[in-house]
């Protein structure tokens, strides 16, 4: 199943939503491609979707949930990829 939160995240003069899958990244990428979202919109475990594509995402079948629910769904599915675990900083030389 695909989920997104309402467009509430400002960046570059626009509002954005987060789109996730609780099944797989493959499902997420396929849905994003159908939606017309560029691959550069993928950020670790979700796509950033501009407000002008929100209605299309819902029409295509994404379920609207609160932002906290997105995180819970990702964790439950084992698909959460927190920033600190995905891009660990190299050890500081001593």
Q: What is the mean pLDDT of residues 62-66?
A: 98
The closest alpha carbon to 28, from 20, 17, 40, 39, belongs to 20
- pLDDT of residue 71 exceeding 60, the answer is yes
Give pLDDT tens digits for 79-90: 887 665 555 555
Q: What pLDDT sits at residue 78?
A: 85
Give me the pLDDT at residue 83, please. 61
For residue 15, what pLDDT is reported? 97
Q: CA-CA distance, 27 to 21, in Å (whole number)?
A: 7
Q: Distances from the Cα of 52 to the Cαs of 6, 49, 64, 75, in angstroms?
A: 11, 8, 15, 28
3-state secondary structure of 93: coil
């Amino acid at each position: 199943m695909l989920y997104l939160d309402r467009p509430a995240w400002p960046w570059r003069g626009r509002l954005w939503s987060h789109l996730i899958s609780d099944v797989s990244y493959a499902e997420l990428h396929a849905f994003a491609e159908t939606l017309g979202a560029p691959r550069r919109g993928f950020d670790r475990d979700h796509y950033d979707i501009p407000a002008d594509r929100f209605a299309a995402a819902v029409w295509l079948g994404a379920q609207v949930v609160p932002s906290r629910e997105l995180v819970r769904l990702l964790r439950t599915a084992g698909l959460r990829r927190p920033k600190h675990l995905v891009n660990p900083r190299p050890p500081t030389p001593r």
